[in-house]
Amino acid sequence: MNTSYEPKIIAFCCSNCASSAAEISHVMKKMLPDNVKVVQVPCSGRVEVLHLLKPFEEGADGVYVGGCQEDSCQYIKGIKKAEKRVEHVRKILSELDIEPERIDVFSLSAARGQEFVEIACEMVERIKAMGPLPIKINA
């Protein structure tokens, strides 16, 4: 395996709990890995199936959604909707013989800045172990 491989990961983070956790992590001087790019959304429930597929289409190796905990979602059911859509994308990836573990969803507490960074690192390590998205390059 190419040890210099760094996966490209897209993180959809809600503007409430996940973004609050991100701010706490900045205060704690905990940095996200460079290969995780955050896309802020009003609520994790706003993220559609197509939003989750597009990063894979455009070359990302992994995607995750960060949202509120179930009992603290400002939009009530946002994180539940996100979980269902992530599960749907897992099924699509499975049907394409791509590891469904390349996509995940996490519930965050607003004050858990350290956890925000730990989740990003967890995804990086998980995707790194899987290798790049199986893409064949035409000779």
Residues making contact with other proteins (CB under 8 A): 48-50, 53-54, 56-57, 92, 95-98, 133-138
Give the shortest CB-83-to-other proteins separation in angstroms.
Answer: 14
Query: Measured from the CB atom, is 53 or 130 closer to other proteins?
Result: 53
Cβ distance to other proteins smaller for residue 27 or 137: 137
- Smallest separation (angstroms) from other proteins to the CB of 122: 24
Please tell me the distance from the alpha carbon of residue 113 to that of residue 19, in angstroms, as a whole number. 9
Tell me how far apart the alpha carbons of residues 59 and 123 are, in angstroms, rounded to a whole number.
16
As beta bridge partners, residue 40 has 13
Comparing CA positions, the residue from 103, 112, 104 lying closest to residue 30 is: 112
User: Among residues 26 and 54, whose Cβ is nearest to other proteins?
Assistant: 54
Token pair for residue 108? 């965050």
